[in-house]
Structure 1
Amino acid sequence: MILHQVGLFRKSGVKSRIQALRQQCELSPDSVSYEDQSAYDVADMVKQFFRDLPEPLLTSKLGETFLHIYQYVPKEQRLQAVRAAILLMPDENREVLQALLYFLRDVTLLVEENQMTPMNLAVCLGPSLFHLSILKNESLSPRSIQKKYTTGRPDQKDLNENLAATQGLCHMITECQCLFQITEEMVTQSRNSYMEAELMVPPLDELCKAHEEEVDEDEEEEDEEGSYHAHLERLVQNLLEEAKDKSRGWVSRSTSDHTELAFKKVGDGNPLRRWRVCVEVSATPDEVLQRLLRERPLWQTDLQQEKVLETLDKQTDVYQYSHYNMAPHPSCDYVVLRSWRTDLCKGSCALVCVSIEHDDSPITGAVRGVVLESQYLLEPCGTGRTRLTHISRVDLRGRSPEWYNKAFGYLCVNEAQRIRSSFQSSDQTSPEAKS
């Protein structure tokens, strides 16, 4: 096993192999196999990754704060201070830090074989995580840098910061299981409008009542089945409108690999934006719909389990699914009302989903997410090809509006590309492709 290797993160790998592995990861990260890789090459690549980030993992703003905690805060108060600093980190940085610290702790559990203690790891990785190199210290003048190289000795400030970084990372590895726990007092102090406006997912009958309240008084009242049908039909019509190229309010974002991405703000009091992804798929609309409905494992690689809880009619059901997250982050599950159409104009198909409560839906993940909108429009765009448009607003729980603005749209892009790739893989393995 890789973690058993003596001197992991301390011993150097082979430069040419590290560079080749890094290029593979940058070009196609999901297809890289690590089974035959040298443990030392992989460890060196990890160090390079963090060292070469535009700003340190602990961020430029908070890096000095972490150093000061381990320089000036009494030992008995450091855990609380570090917890508070971690809360201030951007979500994406905090999640990566947590995953990294848990991994490094796993390395130290095999110290008898690999001889890597928390302090040894901290010495090897501290400079990469804190970006302590004086060449990246913008506060130093060129004369100061030249003087340090001339004398060949760092000044006392540099020595103190290096010691604080090493001791700090050692402490964070040792206490990683406590660092990301939030006390009730901290939760109370950090309450804000977003936390107070927690999304409440309605059961099916309340979803129907909500629709009935919006119907004009002159219209005839509908029974419960008719109400959910009417609500779902409204979602389909909204999807058809929002999927139009000339639909107003959309702001485009740059993407790669022949994928379109845009967002728009929604004035319903919820800060989450509506995201739209468009991509062409080498399959018919009916085939893509079948893949979305019945073949989820072929395109959602982190799927944990799935189940149809209740079939309401031939084109509507209640569906539960869950997916893994990278350890130690919790898995997440969803319960959605979903409905599909195969009789739209010009051979198009549609699938709409929205979260509901259901009596027979025990939580299969550690967290239950909320699907505000997840809608797919599948339009033919040539022989055997489909233009897939996915419109999505999903509360994954535990992340800030800033994270959604920066990252969520690109997760939608990644999902659309996986759906497209699942058909490309099928083509390559089909009997016709082999003949």
Structure 2
Amino acid sequence: MASCHRASRVSIYDNVPGSHLYASTGDLLDLEKDDLFPHLDDILQHVNGLQEVVDDWSKDVLPELQTHDTLVGEPGLSTFPSPNQITLDFEGNSVSEGRTTPSDVERDVTSLNESEPPGVRDRRDSGVGASLTRPNRRLRWNSFQLSHQPRPAPASPHISSQTASQLSLLQRFSLLRLTAIMEKHSMSNKHGWTWSVPKFMKRMKVPDYKDKAVFGVPLIVHVQRTGQPLPQSIQQALRYLRSNCLDQVGLFRKSGVKSRIHALRQMNENFPENVNYEDQSAYDVADMVKQFFRDLPEPLFTNKLSETFLHIYQYVPKEQRLQAVQAAILLLADENREVLQTLLCFLNDVVNLVEENQMTPMNLAVCLAPSLFHLNLLKKESSPRVIQKKYATGKPDQKDLNENLAAAQGLAHMIMECDRLFEVPHELVAQSRNSYVEAEIHVPTLEELGTQLEESGATFHTYLNHLIQGLQKEAKEKFKGWVTCSSTDNTDLAFKKVGDGNPLKLWKASVEVEAPPSVVLNRVLRERHLWDEDFVQWKVVETLDRQTEIYQYVLNSMAPHPSRDFVVLRTWKTDLPKGMCTLVSLSVEHEEAQLLGGVRAVVMDSQYLIEPCGSGKSRLTHICRIDLKGHSPEWYSKGFGHLCAAEVARIRNSFQPLIAEGPETKI
């Protein structure tokens, strides 16, 4: 992390109320000269003494796990399905190596296994091998991803490596910790202010935003549409600035040209998949990025927690701020936290070139904090009388001044600490005792799969056959007991709860495809690069028989977040009654499958059922339950079903007439 002192300059934007609190380098002066709270350590020690209360909370989080403390290898702990539970596949699937012909799947798979080198197929940053049916290329940003990847720190795991159950547990402990810190430093007797625990209530229904593509769209809607919380065109804008403009003096401080910024906005809205920033002014692009965050329906720090973040930097002593902010970040919605991390890491790179661009952490913070916190914006509920009274004197309200000061101070601190903010404090893990370990998902070996059936002589082949039989039974019973959800793009979507202690639902997405079952199976099994833009690497770790293998693949994530690595046991059938085909996958441990991506995700259930439906057509049904790591149960409830529906839609669309894009390069 570059130092700022060698090229310290005072920005005209530093001349804001309270600017005397800032050094010319942008560093914050120590405001806590007096120890106003000498008993803080005693209070925090008392929080640690509330272990019995914490244990009760953890039992509420994972009640099913408490009954298995002494049971080694209990199926409930593994969260893998029992043989009579029906499941299919969302992630645990395949890929091909470029081009295949619609032939019999068994023959095609055998020839591929025999002819391909065993090494990993790697798609480069150019996007070669992406979907042929869509003009948009998923942004690959390897340099940014690598420069801010989580560093190995056994004592402080990263948020991105947590299971959904672990993250839910850590959020409860974070709420407890944040409550203790804020109540200690509320200073309500002096400031007329008290801190209250944020209420995580069910959100009201929101518009569908069909008339908007980029600006003014909630981050969770972007997740539902593309799988990533930042639109591709905004990611491209950040990449353009990082690659070409970090040496521009006053980046984010100097204003762009209003007409050109408007043209950039229109280009984003009208052609979001074909935005080109080459030869654009750095200041225009930077202003457009600021407008994206200012136009969000709620601030990046969310309506629930924005005030909490501001109060941390108004009232919490300097030595306690990192701890408090880490706790608050864990409470953010996943999509907001991911975008915040991307933005802070980018701004940290801007600061590292301060000698050239003259942008210290405080200079950047003063320019960006109003857009990220939605400061100084008139609230919709404000009455004309309130507005008139607020601005009658022509001077800013003292509360506004304090909030602006805290926002700038806080954002500067977060930019400099961007790599530590998204770690899980060791104290939180230690405080949760056994609950944290139990919230991990046990991934079985091949040998352990057979023992889960409690049948003498059962093997992993027996286990897989039970899954296929269960899938056929579900299809015969027309998938009774599933809850139907609304979906887009002519897909059917439903879910059901599993009840094994893991909070994640089982999702089912289905669609009609213009291809026979064997061809569709081959597309899913060996041609993933034709329909999944996030697909970057794969290899067959071990071939177990003609239709069973250990398969490893990597899916890209929005930079700088780590990619997801999957190791699955999968088997496929083409000789089922009525011309049906199936593909069943689930995660397993394998000693030869070294980590290729940043985080090892877990496929708990992943199955495809492909049924003939008319001349040359198929009904593709995909049932899946996957922990991608780094996401809370709420994120899965809001977004994961949409991603499942989008996946089967992409498979269907890959059979539609190809768009002329030039020759495809073999991967």
Quote the Cα distance in structure 1 between the aligned partners of 2:594 and 2:637: 31
Match of 1:296 among 528, 531, 540: 528
Is contact 2:570-2:583 (8 Å) kept?
yes
**2:538 corresponds to which letter in structure 1?**
E
**1:399 corresponds to which letter in structure 2?**
H
Quote the Cα distance in structure 2 between the aligned partners of 1:61 and 1:108: 29
Quote the Cα distance in structure 1 between the aligned partners of 2:465 and 2:550: 16
* Alpha carbons of structure 1 residues 2 and 34: separation in structure 2 relative to 1, 3 Å: same
* Alpha carbons of structure 1 residues 383 and 202: separation in structure 2 relative to 1, 3 Å: same
Q: CA deviation at 1:300?
A: 2.6
Quote the Cα distance in structure 1 between the aligned partners of 2:435 and 2:327: 20
**1:186 corresponds to which letter in structure 2?**
L
Partner of residue 44, structure 1 = 287
Match of 1:158 among 381, 384, 400: 400
Runs of 5+ consecutive residues of structure 1 not aligned to the other structure: 216-220
Is contact 2:376-2:400 (8 Å) kept?
no
Match of 1:325 among 554, 557, 581: 557
* Alpha carbons of structure 1 residues 46 and 241: separation in structure 2 relative to 1, 3 Å: farther
Equivalences for residues 191-206 of structure 1 within 5 A = 193=435, 196-206=438-448
Is contact 1:340-1:352 (8 Å) kept?
yes
Partner of residue 365, structure 1 = 597
Q: Give CA-to-partner distance per residue, 1:275-297, whole Å, 9 cap, x none.
A: 11122333332222112222222
Quote the Cα distance in structure 1 between the aligned partners of 2:522 and 2:622: 15
Please tell me whether residue 377 in structure 1 is matched to residue 377 in structure 2: no
Is contact 1:261-1:278 (8 Å) kept?
yes
Partner of residue 256, structure 1 = 488
TM-score after normalising by structure 2: 0.58
Q: CA deviation at 1:209?
A: 2.1
Partner of residue 12, structure 1 = 256
Partner of residue 210, structure 1 = 452
Q: CA deviation at 1:38?
A: 4.9
Quote the Cα distance in structure 2 between the aligned partners of 1:254 and 1:42: 37
Partner of residue 630, structure 2 = 398
Is contact 1:317-1:337 (8 Å) kept?
yes
Equivalences for residues 200-279 of structure 1 within 5 A = 200-211=442-453, 213=454, 215=455, 221-222=456-457, 227-243=459-475, 246-279=478-511
Q: Give CA-to-partner distance per residue, 1:200-233, whole Å, 9 cap, x none.
A: 111111101222x1x4xxxxx54x6xx3333212
Please tell me whether residue 96 in structure 1 is matched to residue 328 in structure 2: no
Is contact 2:516-2:612 (8 Å) kept?
yes
Q: CA deviation at 1:367?
A: 1.9
Partner of residue 132, structure 1 = 375
Segments of 4+ moved more than 6 angstroms = none
Quote the Cα distance in structure 2 between the aligned partners of 1:34 and 1:374: 40
Quote the Cα distance in structure 2 between the aligned partners of 1:252 and 1:357: 34
Match of 1:22 among 268, 273, 282: 268
Q: CA deviation at 1:197?
A: 3.1
Quote the Cα distance in structure 2 between the aligned partners of 1:415 and 1:262: 14
Q: Give CA-to-partner distance per residue, 1:298-319, whole Å, 9 cap, x none.
A: 2232233211111111111111
Quote the Cα distance in structure 1 between the aligned partners of 2:508 and 2:561: 27
Q: Give CA-to-partner distance per residue, 1:171-209, whole Å, 9 cap, x none.
A: 111111121122211222356857523211111111012
Quote the Cα distance in structure 2 between the aligned partners of 1:250 and 1:344: 24
Q: CA deviation at 1:410?
A: 2.0
Of 271-280 and 231-240, the range deviating more from structure 2: 231-240
Q: CA deviation at 1:243?
A: 4.9
* Alpha carbons of structure 1 residues 41 and 421: separation in structure 2 relative to 1, 3 Å: farther
Match of 2:577 among 345, 353, 362: 345
Match of 1:177 among 404, 414, 419: 419
- What secondary structure is seen at the aligned counterpart in 1 of 2:551? strand
Equivalences for residues 107-118 of structure 1 within 5 A = 107-118=350-361
Match of 1:410 among 626, 633, 642: 642
* Alpha carbons of structure 1 residues 276 and 37: separation in structure 2 relative to 1, 3 Å: farther
Amino-acid identity (%): 64
Of 108-117 and 319-328, the range deviating more from structure 2: 108-117
Is contact 1:22-1:45 (8 Å) kept?
no
Quote the Cα distance in structure 2 between the aligned partners of 1:231 and 1:121: 57
TM-score after normalising by structure 1: 0.87
* Alpha carbons of structure 1 residues 258 and 4: separation in structure 2 relative to 1, 3 Å: farther
Quote the Cα distance in structure 2 between the aligned partners of 1:374 and 1:41: 45
* Alpha carbons of structure 1 residues 275 and 161: separation in structure 2 relative to 1, 3 Å: same
Please tell me whether residue 356 in structure 1 is matched to residue 600 in structure 2: no
Partner of residue 323, structure 2 = 80
Quote the Cα distance in structure 2 between the aligned partners of 1:328 and 1:278: 32
Quote the Cα distance in structure 2 between the aligned partners of 1:284 and 1:42: 47
* Alpha carbons of structure 1 residues 166 and 304: separation in structure 2 relative to 1, 3 Å: same
Quote the Cα distance in structure 1 between the aligned partners of 2:252 and 2:618: 47
Quote the Cα distance in structure 2 between the aligned partners of 1:105 and 1:141: 40
Q: CA deviation at 1:71?
A: 1.1
Q: Give CA-to-partner distance per residue, 1:82-137, whole Å, 9 cap, x none.
A: 11211221222212211111111122223344443322222222112111234127
Is contact 1:235-1:352 (8 Å) kept?
yes
* Alpha carbons of structure 1 residues 39 and 318: separation in structure 2 relative to 1, 3 Å: same
Q: CA deviation at 1:413?
A: 2.5
* Alpha carbons of structure 1 residues 112 and 424: separation in structure 2 relative to 1, 3 Å: farther
CA RMSD of aligned residues (A): 2.7
The structure carrying a bigger helix percent of its residues is 1
Partner of residue 178, structure 2 = none
Q: CA deviation at 1:392?
A: 0.6
**1:18 corresponds to which letter in structure 2?**
L
- What secondary structure is seen at the aligned counterpart in 2 of 1:176? coil
* Alpha carbons of structure 1 residues 184 and 48: separation in structure 2 relative to 1, 3 Å: same
Quote the Cα distance in structure 1 between the aligned partners of 2:309 and 2:444: 43
Quote the Cα distance in structure 1 between the aligned partners of 2:408 and 2:427: 30
Q: CA deviation at 1:34?
A: 4.4
Q: Give CA-to-partner distance per residue, 1:377-401, whole Å, 9 cap, x none.
A: 1223344433321111011123222
Of 75-84 and 156-165, the range deviating more from structure 2: 75-84
Is contact 1:134-1:145 (8 Å) kept?
no
Of 67-76 and 408-417, the range deviating more from structure 2: 408-417
Quote the Cα distance in structure 2 between the aligned partners of 1:430 and 1:341: 35
Quote the Cα distance in structure 2 between the aligned partners of 1:192 and 1:49: 43
Partner of residue 543, structure 2 = 311
